[in-house]
Structure 1
Amino acid sequence: MKPTKKWMDWYYKTGKKYVTPVILIVFFIVAFVLICQMVKPESYNVKLFEVAQKTIRSPQTIEDTQKTAEEQAKAAAAVEDVYVFNRETAQNRESLVRSLFAYVTEVNREAALNDAKNDKMTSIDQKLDSLKGKLSKNVSEDITEGVNAAMLTILIQMNVKDLQQVEKEVVSALDVAMGQSVRKDNMTDIKVSARDTIELSNLPANYKGVAKTILSYAIVPNEVYNAAQTEDRRKEASANVIPVKILQGQVVVQEGQIIDREIYRQLALLHLLDQKMPIKQYAGFGLLLLSLGIMLYFFTNKQKNLNKARKNQYALVFSSVYIAILLMLMIIRFLEGADISNISFLFPAAFGPMIIKILLNEKFAFMMTIFTSVTSFFVFQSDATAAVNVTVSTFILLSGLASIVVLRDYSRRSAILLSGFIVGLANMAFVFLLLLISNTGLLTLAFWIPVGYAFLGGIGSFVLGIGVIPIFETVFGILTTSRLVELANPNHPLLKKIMMKAPGTYHHSLMVANLAESCTDAIGGNSLLVRVGCFYHDIGKTIRPPYFVENQLHGINPHDRLTPEQSRDIILAHTTDGAAILRDNHFPQPIIDIALEHHGTTLVKYFYYKAKEKNPDVSEADFRYSGPKPQTKEIAIINISDSVEAAVRSCDAPTKEKIKAIVDNIIDDRMQDKQFVACDITFQEIETIRATLCATLNGIYHQRIQYPDDK
């Protein structure tokens, strides 16, 4: 076996299932690289303390964490210390002062009693010692440490009236002083004010000093510093600081401005010096693409009318178009870098949805519109302002939707071009409205140039789509309406080959096409695909035309000279041979599938029973087609129509009853043989096919009036 043939056999048996995952992974990596390349910030070759050669704007909104921290520190430092006012302090200090005067009175009274009892005068020193003892024994505060002995001696020597007057003035001044907020930082001022009050009072001059001393001692702070509350308020003030941000589009440095340390720091923060993005941004874009991929995966799997191979094919086509869109976005970004104003509106936003609608279907086209607009939002985020970003993304969304709505007839290139012209006009209207909303001046070039770009982008999308659709059809085997029309042309080389080499097969194929097309229309399938598929479904018979009954002339049957096994091999080979011919001619996969699957795994009964006559132990499996069984309802219809047409054609004088019996027998045989278990055809559709076949065949083989011969 040749290496190429060996590799192809491995590919179609085993390797084919690995192709889709590998290609999707490659597409994911390519898309990730392209997006990161487009969104990463532009690098500027600037140096510290040099003059800026151009105005540099911020490509994104980013928090300046250093500035934010500085503002938070300022806000916290501006918060004053929290003090708690204690009303009991004033009462306690007043009680302390009154206790002092009470003890003085008590000492004088005790001394008077002792003098009367002992008829002896108590000395001043004795009174002072007694007073000090009372003031320092079993007390919470030793007053003698704050009021010296000289002051206490003066108190002891006062008469009762003077002592009461001094007490009254001290307590009164103390109440005024302690009624204020007294802290360590203002306590001196309050004491001075209180002493001035005593100085201005009516006390005798020789008593004012002791009053001032007692008052100064009694005045203490009545507000206590609260560390916990202070810290809480500072944290709250820090948290209330609005983060300092460098806004997208904000001028970081003006042309001609000196790049100082602060500007240089901001440029570095924005990665405008190293052309790098933070790791979290790379991760973010990776997760974005992963999310889009997951959406595409589940969306594709929900399409019940697609088998697994078609789903993989759709995913590959969708991914390929998405990569092409990313490349176009990169070109637009490059042109923007060349300072071409508003060039982003030239982006062919309708290209992706238009080509996906033609290649796949309208649902996938809407999905492509969403993917494109979401991606563009991030790609254009480094524009001068966020408003421009939103405007361009909105334009791309609207243009994509317009292309889906406008494009209806895509079987003719002229119709596609007309749709492109209409989309171009719609693009002009969209940009006109968006620029009005953004308050752009009507009489400026900045207004009308984008409108012109939008028109060119609309037409260009469709012109570009017409050019690349054949590439996608060839590479991915996608079957479009225009491609089907092209394959249905009788002048196609392969159809000519069938007509020349196997005219009977050609006629049979046309008849099968008519039957299958009618059935497909009846159940709402792809009738054009069925018709074209029928044209080529038996192309494998062109290799050995005489071995198939419709091509045999003059009653000569080559199988008469062959064993049943040899005949079997020739008959069974026409499906695989046909698929190989179509594959070599780069036919779309659905047509290849029809050639390969139109007999499913049915039994070649004639040669099986002929072989069984010679060998009763012959295996039935050896006389079955290799399949696979029909994977779509369209191929199931061809499977039935092919057998019905051959059976009715071989019937003598077919009547309605005979036709109905043939159709019923063939359909029931296929059902019992489980030939339709791999496709999604329903019992209701099978009954519709049964009725349609009978009606169509009755129309073809209707009874004719016997005209008399002319004599």
Structure 2
Amino acid sequence: MQKRHVTEWWQSAKKKRLYVSLLFIAIIVLSYFLLIQLTKPESYNVQLFSVAEKTIRSPQTVEDTKKTEEEQQKAMDAVPDVYTHNRETGQNRVALVESLFDYVNEVNKEASEQDKENAEKAEKENKAAPAATTIDEKVKMLKSKLSDNVSEKMTTGLSDNVFRTLLEASSEDLNTVEKGIVDELTKIMDESIRDDNLNSVKVEARDDIELSSIPSAYKDVAKSIISYAIIPNETYNKEQTEERKKEAAQAVSPVKILQGQVIVQEGQIVDRESYRQLKLLHLLDQKMPVKQYLGYGLFVLALAGLLYFFTKKQNYPKKKAQQRVLIFSSIYVIMLLVLWVIRILEAADLNNIAFLFPAALAPMMAKILLNEKYAFLSLIYVTVTSLFVFQSDSTSAINLLVSVFILLSGLASISMLKDYSKRSAILQSGLWVGLFNMLFITFLLMINNSTILSSTYLLSILYGFVGGFGSFVIGIGLIPLFETVFGVLTTSRLVELASPNHPLLKKILMKAPGTYHHSMMVANLAEACADQIGANSLLVRVGCFYHDIGKTLRPPYFVENQLQGINPHDRLTPKQSRDIILAHTTDGAEILKENHMPQPIIDIAAQHHGTTLLKYFYYKEKETNPEVTEAEFRYPGPKPQTTEVAIINIADSVEAAVRACAEPTKEKIQAIVDGIIQDRLLDRQFSECEITLAEIEVIRKTLNTTLNGIYHQRIQYPDDQKGDQKNEAARN
């Protein structure tokens, strides 16, 4: 099996979509793993209670969840329990005491009435007067009433002596005792009484009773009653307490380990707290939290999605869009690999080695291989990625400093790179970018209040110059690889192909000199037209050089290579001549493919005649075969797919027609140009490219002006002068 070149694989039609999709997915996966490796925290071989060999700082800002939980617990513990004060409790206790005295009065009254009634009855019956109701009977009556009418069991809370003393007291004393107890109870129950201060409140109340106006004989009874009556009037509110504790915990700010914060100082003992923080930061195991892995995955997918939609918005043909996506993605992967190298150098404790990073490489390659829009997009991608990558043992200020440097260096690269048709011009741009990098590093370090004119500073600006100039040196080496792998055509590649020393151009010159001259003339015409409408004039010129290379297989069968009076087609049928003429487009494309020429040049060779009709041989065949169709005598195409091919399509036919004209005048040239353009439009040859009618009009005027300059009427010399000129020409 014949070995196929990589550009032929790229041009394969059947499986290209699958290959492109798989390659793009592979690039995304590779970018993800490279980014993970770049952002994975550095691992330290540190043992608990060992002496730290170097100062270890936090590579990122993370929340110390354990410390946060401890602070939240402290805040919750500081929240006092919430109690609900019930004013009805005090009122109920006062009512309870008042009911006690009411029942004492009631029992005394009933007993007195009963004694009186018994005495009257005995007197009527001439009997001896019965004994009065004893105190024990009154106590019994009082306890019975209290048990029946009071929900609370006062009979067990108060002793019989209390009841007996109250029942034996006079009404006057009883009222005094009641008033003293009620007043004190009302005052006490208005205060906050809980289980934890109940005893102290009772003691205070008994002390107040001792100092009150209650007769001394009843003070002990009053103390017992008020001590019994006082109960807690505030109850624990669990819901409100939990809510306040929750609010207090939420109000605690998360405890964070800040990026750049010193975890352990060189020479210090690694205690339990420092060791715990090292584990939390994954500085002992080189692991990251799962959410960080997921976050970087989403980040890479976001970059891929933005690239896809950015390319789609440019309205490129599908094939070209796929090519640009893969080129851009490959450049990004290369930058990740370079970042990896820089991180390895950082691990060697080289100060400010990050300034060696070739920040100008991605924008430079994207501008040359794609365009300026992609250059800016690549700069954004690399700058954003650097914010995640440069998070080693430095502070966030240094990280930001490096990212700003990358942004400025990339902008300088895009601005300074203007002429990239020659390697010397590219290197000159690299020299300027290197000088700008030195300036950028100088003022960035000054802004960061770093020491100027120190060895670290001088080394940093040296890194900047090497990184800037080296970006362009590396780019010059990588661009040919991209040209080969992706079949992309750059300005420098076009300049190389335009060299007369190119083997294929030499082949055309040696085998088909007439075709070579014709190609040069077409190149001049087409280039002038492309310049006027803003097309790629260099691509047009170089494409013209090679567009008729298929004629080198059978040079004599094309009029520009025929010797005077000898036409091989005179011995062939129209169909045989047709096959030879039509084949030069497909033959040319095959020759260019075999020589690994860029796809745009191959497309020009295949499309420069579109599907136009080979009129001369068609009508000649029609004379003997009326059934013949136009489709049999049309070029295989396809029609011109780009503006550049459309220009060559017109210029090629115009140059051949004007050259065949015996005495081209301004009027004849204009008629030829107008006729060919009108024929192409009516034949819808430009229906698949983006050329506009306004651009075609500019092309028409440009061709007329250029051809009139070439075929201007010469001065009519006398016959003897003509003869002298002919002799002079013969001698030359």
TM-score computed with the length of structure 2 as normaliser: 0.92
2:97 is aligned with 1:87 = no
Give 2:287's aligned residue.
Answer: 276
Q: Is the 8 A contact 2:8 2:593 kept in 1?
A: no
**Any unmatched runs of 5+ in structure 1?**
none
**SS of equivalent to 1:84:** strand
Q: Displacement, 1:2? A: 6.0
Matched, 1:173 2:184: yes
Tell me the residue number matched to 2:105: 105
Tell me if 1:229 matches 2:259. Answer: no
| Structure 2 match to 1:333 | 343
The residue aligned with 1:594 is: 604
Partner of 2:706: 696
Match of 2:35 in 1: 35
**Contact (CA 8 Å) 1:383, 1:389: kept in 2 or not?**
no
Superimposed CA distance per residue, residues 374-427 of structure 1 (whole angstroms, 9 cap, x where no aligned partner):
111111133422222211111111111121122222233333233223222322
Q: How far 1:168 moved relative to its partner?
A: 2.5
Residue 687 of structure 1 pairs with residue 697 of structure 2: yes
- Which whole-Å CA distance do the structure 1 matches of 2:554 and 2:25 have between them? 44
Matched residue, 1:208: 219
Amino acid at match of 1:668: Q
Pairs within 5 Å for 1:454-603: 454-603=464-613
1:69 aligned partner, one-letter code: E
Deviations 1:469-519 (A, max 9, x none): 233233323222222222222222222221221111111111111111121
Alignment of 1:253-652 (within 5 A): 253-304=264-315, 306-442=316-452, 444-652=454-662
Residues 529 and 408 (structure 1), Cα distance of their counterparts in 2 relative to 1, 3 Å cut: same
Q: 1:48 deviation in Å?
A: 4.0
Letter of the aligned partner of 2:484 in structure 1?
T
Q: CA contact under 8 A between 2:521 and 2:655: conserved in structure 1?
A: yes
- Give aligned-pair identity as a percent: 65
Residue 662 of structure 1 and its aligned partner are, at CA, apart by 1.7
Cα-to-partner distance string for 1:263-295 (whole Å, 9 max, x where unaligned): 444333322233222332222222211111111
Q: Residue 720 of structure 2 aligns to a residue in which SS?
A: coil
| Partner in structure 1 of residue 63 of structure 2 | 63
**56-65 vs 143-152, greater mean Cα deviation:** 56-65
1:614 Cα deviation from its structure 2 partner: 4.1
1:8 and 1:393 map into 2 onto residues whose CA distance is 40
State the one-letter code of the partner of 1:505. Answer: T
Give 1:245 deviation, angstroms: 2.3
Task: Report the alpha carbon displacement of residue 189 of structure 1 after superposing the two structures with TM.
Answer: 0.9
Distance 1:223 1:100 in 2: 24
Q: Report the residue type matching 2:423 in the other structure.
A: R
Say if 1:519 and 1:692, in contact at 8 Å, map to a contact too.
Answer: yes
CA offsets 1:350-372 (integer angstroms, 9 cap, x no match) = 11111211222111111111011
Q: Is the contact made by 2:177 and 2:215 (CA closer than 8 Å) also made in structure 1?
A: no
For 1:667, give the aligned amino acid: I
Aligned residue identity for 1:34:
L
Partner of 1:189: 200
Amino acid aligned to 1:150: N
Q: Hey, what does 1:24 align to over in structure 2?
A: 24
Q: Bigger CA drift: 409-418 or 540-549?
A: 409-418
Secondary structure at the counterpart of residue 718 of structure 2: coil
What is the Cα deviation at residue 336 of structure 1?
0.5
Structure 1 residue 674 corresponds to structure 2 residue 688: no
TM-score by length of 1: 0.94
Question: Cα deviation per residue 1:281-336 (whole Å; 9 max; x = unaligned)?
Answer: 222222211111111112112224x4332222222221121111111111101100
Structure 1 residues 487 and 163: CA distance shift in structure 2, 3 A:
same
Give the direction of change, closer, same or farther, for the CA distance of 1:433–1:316 in structure 2 (3 Å limit): same
The answer to whether the 8 Å contact 1:248/1:382 transfers is no
| Offset at residue 12 of structure 1 (A) | 3.2
Q: 8 Å contact 2:10–2:487 — kept in the other structure?
A: no
- For 1:149, the aligned partner's letter is D
Specify the code of the residue in structure 1 equivalent to 2:97.
Answer: V
Matched, 1:96 2:96: yes
> Match for residue 114 of structure 1?
114
Could you tell me whether the CA contact under 8 Å between 1:659 and 1:698 is conserved in 2? Answer: yes
Give the drift of 1:643.
0.7
Contact 1:495 1:535 in 2 (8 A): yes
What is the distance in 2 between the residues matched to 1:2 and 1:417? 39
Hey, what does 1:657 align to over in structure 2? 667
> Aligned in 2, Cα 1:183/1:309: closer, same or farther, shift over 3 Å?
same
Is 265-274 or 125-134 further displaced after alignment? Answer: 265-274
Q: How has the CA–CA distance of structure 1 residues 206 and 441 changed in structure 2, closer, same or farther, with 3 Å as cutoff?
A: farther
Distance between the aligned counterparts of 2:275 and 2:698, measured in 1?
77
Q: Deviation string for 1:529-568 (max 9, x for gaps)?
A: 1111111111121122111110001221222333333322
Letter of the 1:284 partner, please give it: G
The separation in 1 between residues aligned to 2:346 and 2:203, in whole angstroms, is 75
Match of 1:242 in 2: 253
What secondary structure does 1:224 align onto?
strand
Q: Which amino acid aligns with 2:703?
A: L
Cα RMSD after superposing both structures: 2.3
Instruction: Indicate conservation of the 8 Å contact 1:41/1:271, yes or no.
Output: yes
Aligned twin of 1:133: 144
1:155 aligns with 2:166: yes
Distance in 1 (alpha carbons) for counterparts of 2:2 and 2:413 = 49
Tell me how far 1:186 sits from its aligned partner. Answer: 0.7
Would the aligned equivalents of 1:440 and 1:446 in 2 still touch at CA under 8 Å? no
- What is the CA distance between 1:146 and its match in structure 2? 1.4
> Are the equivalent residues in 1 in contact too, given 2:557–2:568 (CA < 8 A)?
yes
Residue 262 of structure 1: how far off its partner (Å): 4.1
Greater displacement, 673-682 / 59-68: 59-68
Distance 1:521 1:11, change over 3 A: closer
Q: Give how far 1:123 is off.
A: 1.2
Q: Is the 8 A contact 1:654 1:701 kept in 2?
A: yes
Deviation at 1:150, TM superposition (A): 1.3
Task: Measure the CA separation in 1 of the matches of 2:21 and 2:621.
Answer: 45
CA distance in 2, matches of 1:394, 1:297: 26
Per-residue CA distance 1:155-179 (angstroms, 9 max, x = gap): 1111122222222322232233222
Match of 2:84, SS?
A: strand
The structure-2 alpha-carbon separation of the partners of 1:9 and 1:211, relative to structure 1 and needing over 3 Å to count, comes to closer
* In 2, Cα distance between equivalents of 1:404 and 1:377: 21
SS of residue matched to 2:231: coil
Number of residue-to-residue matches in the alignment: 709
Bigger shift: residues 557-566 or 218-227: 557-566
Q: How far apart in 1 are the matches of 2:17 and 2:171?
A: 117
Return the offset for 1:219. Answer: 0.7
Q: For 1:69 and 1:20, how far apart are their aligned partners in 2?
A: 51
In the aligned structure 2, how far is the partner of 1:175 from the partner of 1:224?
Answer: 19
> Structure 1 residue 83: deviation in Å?
0.2
CA contact (8 A) 1:58 1:251 kept: yes
Q: Which amino acid aligns with 2:521?
A: M
Cα–Cα, structure 1 residues 74 and 125, in superposed 2: closer, same or farther, change >3 Å? same
Moved more, 447-456 or 344-353: 447-456
Partner Cα separation in structure 1 for residue 118 and residue 257 of structure 2: 94
Q: Residues 636 and 196 of structure 1: is their aligned pair in 2 closer, same or farther, counting only changes over 3 Å? A: same
Contact 2:366/2:374 (8 A) holds in 1:
yes
